[in-house]
């Protein structure tokens, strides 16, 4: 009972079209909002004339930056302690920025009225290329910040600079490589939106919105809007994919709330796809230079990295406060190094804000890509097989728990075993032999290896908070008199299947079927406080809370059972879902029997108030560290540059698997992300800051035709830092897979002397790379 | 314009603007919110419904074009309390995660199995290639449709 494969509870509604996503919420008298957005990347606002829009017969309100300024709401805090314009007052700073908000009787009328708003702009030069953002004379983006004279946001470093430099001085071999992890977007199929309903009589604000962090939203609304927090209810209904893009608060949400307050009616706002791609949280945009120092026989000694991080026009990255570059300093990866050092500088550009989104585990994605690309660059330099080079440098099982040169404490693992398993599954030697034969015939085949270590489950309160809110999660468990249970958790699923997995955790701990446990989530009035679902933290943090609160119930049940059995609690043992007197299995009392007794007139022992309900707050003692070994085989058409992913072998270790079917599904999705980012997806800009990937016609996502049939394997290294040994898996494959695909393509192109090419490896980019003329994938600037 | 569209066997008559999209007619006029909307450009396919038995992307069909025609949505797949075999297949093989692409995928799967009761993997992949899924990497959708093919044979 409990752990293992079971059908998802969620599916019953989804296969019938009976999910409730935010756009499915319809309230009596509901109005519809639409956002007017800037066509310019950088321009001064001279005037905004809304009179014609206000005269539209179906329009009920038009809100501008000036309206909001009067309410002190024109700017809102970001998750990185910067501010972001809700509606622009002075300037627009990226194409697609919010300028005005129309509230009308229906969604078509709201859109019509946008056309009636006259905005006069005075265009300014835009900063599009992060590499020129700090150049003298670069246009100043954030003149709203007092005393700000440049586009610099932060400098940050980790590791030991001097020791690393000393190793590089004396190293037998060093290699260096510039690489870009391009700006991409998670593009969940459901865009963002909100339904806001402010009740003037009760003063209660209810906001339906697909947020991955409903409790954080509630607290921030209280801080931003000055509304009392107990009068705010955030309901995060079914979410059509999030992937990190639905963590933050977007201006449209605030506008919907203001629209409801102003009109006295509920207001729905749904963005369209272009709005979603142009204005909501992007990911990556890391310009990196990696260097590796090694011995001639392939022992990696040190890694050094310099990063220029493009954060867009407002610094809105979502990550723990202490870490402006997220967890990027986990870039030493899975290897045993003597020293490491990284420097990261963040800059403003005239692009949408964001940076941490898209299943990246707070920039572990960029870190893994960096180190796994560098391992291949070194392998090429040394003439060593890339799998063999990794095997020589992987951490050994006896080194765990392992403290990395940049201060992470890895929990558990047998890395060589995982890589060997992946190589066996792939038939690595045979693939290499096949490749040799093909090369002799002029055919291009590549094999790419990637070994990743994730850092998830943020996080320990003393190190980790977002805007001052510590990253611990609550859980409440009620056991009804008949022994059926209701678990309330703070996080919210975007498809990960929490209603099933968390029920399995409670079922496992209490010895009852998962079907007897209802999971309540996504409603701040019904659930305890917690920081939400991102960074693969649900199972590591909220899942741990679920296990702990169930154990509290079990402990309480023990005292009640002792009273029922007229025995000392010390004489009871737990087994098969029953408390029984040691040595007398026939005395066993099930949870249902104990629950009924706990609600009855049974005389309870001292210290037991009655009932079995319990609450907890789980503060993780450490992060958890899932890992995996991925091998990808590609064929490249030398005539067109087209890459075909033929095989993809993924061995994942995420500790104990609660529901293996769900775990595998999570991995499948992340592997597709890897193919998308490596081969197709990029948000590029022209020199004026025009977004060149603002629809699915231009921002290409992988379909069933680009994806192979995934081949999965597993090892299991329970985490000692988690009550059930689980590590989290939601982002592992997105983190680990891009490097495997790129390494495979670069391997295929080795006969042309290619050692690196930036993502995405589109046919055009492959063709240009082969011809020694790669282009910058982030810019359409000659 | 006054139109009559038969949806899931039930005729519905409404006065609509000529520009109203079929997806909005289904969702906002009829309250059939199982049909989702995702991209505006016919790329994602979450709005897929059957128009006279053929899958169409209802974000690029005007409601007036469906006047006098038959539409089937995900709500019409279950008959007399019996799930369609493709719905069962998606549950059996974990063919969905967030559920947003699922209605469109189910309708395409139904159409495929009507035409080709025993499709191989390549045929299934081609059939769903006009629809995006961001969660499953397609693997379990393909397996779900194969399961349904075997279960109905």
Q: Which chain A positions have a beta carbon within 8 Å of B27's beta carbon?
A: 23-24
Residue B98 Cα, gap to closest chain A Cα (Å) = 4
Dihedral angle at the C-alpha atoms of B144, B150, B152, B153, nearest 10 degrees? 160
Cβ A189–B130 below 8 Å, yes or no? no
Rounded to whole angstroms, how far apart are CA atoms B90 and B124? 14
| A274 touching chain B per CB within 8 A | yes
* Closest in A12, A494, A704 to B138, CB measured: A704
Confidence of residue A781 (pLDDT cuts 50, 70, 90): low
Using an 8 Å CB-CB cutoff, list chain B residues near A7.
Answer: 91-92
Q: Hey, is the C-beta of B18 within 8 angstroms of any chain A C-beta? A: no
User: Is the pLDDT confidence value at A17 over 70?
Assistant: yes
Q: Band the pLDDT of A464: cuts 50, 70, 90.
A: very high
Q: Round to whole Å and give the CA distance between A476 and B21.
A: 44
Residue A782 pLDDT > 70: no
* Cβ of residue A115 closer than 8 Å to a chain B Cβ: no
> And the tokens for A630?
């991925």
Helix (H) or strand (E) segment spanning residue B152: helix B139-152
Q: What is the mean pLDDT of residues B148-153?
A: 96
pLDDT interval class at A1 (50, 70, 90): low
Q: Which of B28, B99, B131 is opposite residue A14, by nearest beta carbon? A: B99
**pLDDT for A305:** 98
Average pLDDT over all residues of chain A:
97
pLDDT of residue A96 exceeding 70? yes
What's the angle, vertex CA A295, arms to CA A292 and CA A300, rounded to 5?
45
pLDDT digits (tens, 9 = 90+) for A150-186: 999 999 999 999 999 999 999 999 999 999 999 999 9
Contact B97 A108 (CB under 8 A): no
Nearest CA in chain A to B21: A108
Q: Does pTM top 0.95 for this prediction? A: yes
ipTM over 0.90? The verdict is yes
The pLDDT value recorded for residue A337 is 97
Contact criterion met (CB < 8 Å) for A23 and B32: no
pLDDT confidence bin for A306, thresholds 50/70/90: very high
Q: Is the pLDDT of residue A777 over 90?
A: no
All structural domains of chain B: 2-75 (3.10.20.30), 85-152 (1.10.150.120)
* Beta-carbon separation of B100 and A710 below 8 A: no
Is the CB of residue B58 less than 8 Å away from at least one CB of chain A? no
User: Per the CB < 8 Å rule, is B38 touching A671?
Assistant: no
B97 and A710 within 8 Å at the Cβ level: the answer is: no
Whose tokens are 């403003």? That residue is A348
Q: Write out pLDDT tens, residues B77-100.
A: 999 999 999 999 999 999 999 999
Chain A residues inside the 8 Å CB shell of B28 = 106-107
* CA-based nearest distance A706→chain B, Å: 9
Neighbours of A407 (CB within 10 A): 10
Average pLDDT score over residue span A328-349:
98
pLDDT digits 0-9 by tens, A730-772:
999 999 999 999 999 999 999 999 999 999 999 999 999 999 8
Give the pLDDT confidence score for residue A289 in this predicted structure: 98
**Is a pLDDT exceeding 80 seen at residue B11?**
yes
One-character DSSP codes across A437-501: HHHHTT-EEEEEEEEEE--BS---TTT-EETTEE--EEEEEEE-TTS-EEEEES---SSS-HHHH
Among B44, B139, B140, most A C-beta atoms within 10 A, so best to mutate, is B139
What does the pLDDT average to over A681-689? Answer: 95
Q: Find the closest chain A residue to B31 by CA distance.
A: A24
In chain A, % of residues over pLDDT 90: 96
Q: What are residue A425's phi and psi, to 5 degrees?
A: -60, -40
Q: Are A685 and A278 in contact (CB under 8 A)?
A: no
Which residues in chain B have their CB less than 8 angstroms from residue A496's CB? 97
Q: How far apart are CA B36 and CA B32, in angstroms?
A: 9
Looking at residue A400, what is its pLDDT?
A: 98
Contact A107 B24 (CB under 8 A): yes
pLDDT in tens, A584-631: 999 999 999 999 999 999 999 887 889 999 999 999 999 999 999 999
Report pLDDT digits (tens) over A260-276.
999 999 999 999 999 99
Task: Output the six-digit token pair for A87.
Answer: 């509606």
| CA B120 to chain centroid | 21
């Amino acid at each position: 009972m409990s752990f293992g494969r079971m059908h998802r509870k969620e599916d019953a509604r989804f296969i019938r079209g009976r999910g409730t996503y935010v756009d499915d919420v319809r309230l009596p008298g509901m109005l519809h909002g639409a956002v007017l957005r800037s066509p310019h990347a950088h321009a001064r606002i001279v005037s905004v004339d809304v009179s014609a829009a206000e005269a539209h017969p179906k329009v009920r309100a038009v809100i501008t930056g000036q309206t909001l300024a009067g309410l002190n709401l024109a700017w809102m805090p970001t998750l990185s302690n910067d501010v972001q314009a809700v509606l622009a007052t002075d300037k627009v700073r990226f194409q697609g920025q919010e300028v005005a908000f129309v509230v009308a009787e229906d969604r078509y009328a709201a859109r019509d009225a946008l056309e009636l708003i006259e905005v006069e702009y005075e265009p300014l030069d835009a900063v599009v290329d992060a590499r020129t953002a700090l150049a003298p004379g670069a246009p100043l983006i954030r003149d709203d910040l007092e005393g700000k004279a440049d586009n610099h946001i932060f400098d940050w470093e980790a590791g030991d600079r001097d020791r690393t430099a000393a190793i590089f001085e004396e190293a037998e071999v060093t290699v260096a490589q510039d690489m870009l992890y391009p700006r991409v977007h998670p593009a969940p199929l459901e865009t963002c939106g909100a339904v806001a309903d402010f009740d003037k009589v009760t003063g209660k604000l209810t906001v339906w919105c697909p947020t991955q962090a409903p409790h954080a939203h509630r607290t921030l609304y209280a801080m931003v809007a000055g509304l009392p927090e107990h009068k705010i209810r955030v309901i995060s209904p079914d979410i059509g994919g999030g992937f990190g893009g639905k963590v933050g608060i977007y201006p449209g949400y605030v506008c919907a709330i203001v629209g409801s307050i102003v009109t006295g009616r509920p207001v729905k706002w749904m963005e369209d796809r272009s709005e979603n791609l142009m204005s909501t949280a992007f990911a990556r945009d890391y310009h990196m230079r990696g260097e590796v120092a090694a011995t001639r026989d392939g022992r990696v000694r040190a890694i050094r990295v310099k990063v220029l991080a493009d954060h867009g026009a407002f610094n809105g990255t979502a990550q723990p406060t202490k870490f402006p570059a997220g967890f990027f300093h986990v870039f030493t990866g899975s290897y045993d190094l003597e020293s490491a050092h990284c420097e990261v500088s963040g800059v403003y550009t005239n692009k949408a804000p964001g940076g941490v989104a898209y299943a990246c585990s707070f920039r572990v994605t960029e870190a893994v890509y960096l180190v796994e690309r560098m391992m291949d660059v070194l392998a090429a330099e040394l003439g060593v097989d890339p799998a063999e080079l990794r095997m020589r440098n992987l951490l050994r099982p006896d080194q765990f728990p392992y403290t990395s040169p940049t201060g992470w404490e890895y929990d558990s693992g047998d890395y060589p075993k995982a890589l060997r398993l992946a190589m066996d599954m792939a038939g690595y030697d045979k693939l290499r032999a096949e490749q040799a034969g093909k090369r002799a015939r002029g055919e291009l085949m590549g094999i790419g290896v990637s070994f990743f270590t994730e850092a998830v489950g943020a996080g320990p309160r003393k190190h980790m908070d977002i805007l001052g809110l510590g990253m611990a999660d609550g859980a409440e468990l009620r056991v009804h008199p008949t022994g059926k249970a209701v678990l309330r958790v703070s996080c919210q699923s975007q498809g990960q299947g929490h209603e099933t997995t968390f029920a399995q955790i409670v079922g496992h701990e209490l010895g009852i079927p998962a079907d007897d446990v209802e999971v309540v989530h996504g409603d701040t009035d019904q659930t305890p406080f917690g920081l939400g679902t991102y960074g693969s933290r649900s199972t590591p943090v909220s899942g741990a809370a679920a296990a702990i609160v169930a154990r509290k119930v079990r402990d309480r049940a023990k005292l009640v059972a002792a009273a029922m059995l007229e025995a000392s609690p010390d004489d009871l043992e737990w087994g098969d879902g029953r408390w029984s007197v040691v040595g007398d299995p026939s005395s066993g009392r099930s949870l249902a029997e104990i629950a009924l007794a706990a609600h009855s007139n049974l005389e309870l022992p001292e210290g037991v108030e009655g009932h079995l309900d319990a609450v907890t707050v789980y503060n993780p003692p450490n992060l958890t560290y899932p890992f995996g070994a991925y091998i990808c085989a590609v064929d490249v058409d030398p005539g067109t540059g087209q890459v075909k992913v033929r095989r993809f072998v993924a061995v994942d270790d995420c500790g104990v698997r609660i529901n293996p079917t769900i775990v595998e599904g999570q991995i499948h999705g992340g592997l597709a992300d890897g193919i998308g980012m490596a081969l197709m997806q990029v948000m590029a800009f022209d020199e004026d800051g025009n977004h060149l990937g603002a629809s699915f016609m231009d921002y290409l996502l992988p379909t069933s035709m680009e994806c192979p049939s995934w081949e999965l394997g597993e090892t299991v290294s329970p985490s000692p830092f988690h009550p059930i040994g689980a590590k989290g898996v939601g982002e592992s494959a997105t983190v680990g897979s891009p490097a495997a695909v790129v390494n495979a393509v670069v391997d295929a192109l080795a006969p042309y002397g290619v050692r690196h090419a930036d993502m995405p490896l589109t046919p055009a980019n492959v063709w240009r790379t082969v011809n020694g003329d790669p282009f910058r994938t982030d810019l359409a600037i000659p | 314009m006054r139109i009559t569209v038969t949806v899931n066997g039930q005729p519905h008559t409404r006065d609509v603007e000529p520009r109203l999209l079929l997806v909005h007619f289904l969702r906002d006029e009829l309250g059939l919110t199982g049909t989702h909307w995702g991209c505006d450009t016919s790329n994602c396919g979450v709005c897929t419904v059957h128009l006279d038995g053929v899958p169409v992307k209802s974000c690029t069909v005007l409601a007036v074009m469906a006047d006098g025609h038959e539409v089937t949505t995900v709500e019409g797949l279950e008959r007399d309390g019996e799930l369609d075999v493709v719905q069962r297949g998606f549950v059996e093989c974990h063919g969905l995660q967030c559920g947003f692409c699922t209605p469109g995928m189910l309708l395409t799967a139904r159409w495929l199995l009507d035409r080709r009761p025993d499709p191989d993997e390549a045929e299934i992949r081609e059939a769903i290639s006009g629809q995006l899924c961001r969660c499953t990497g397609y693997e379990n959708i393909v397996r779900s449709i194969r399961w349904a093919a075997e279960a109905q044979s």
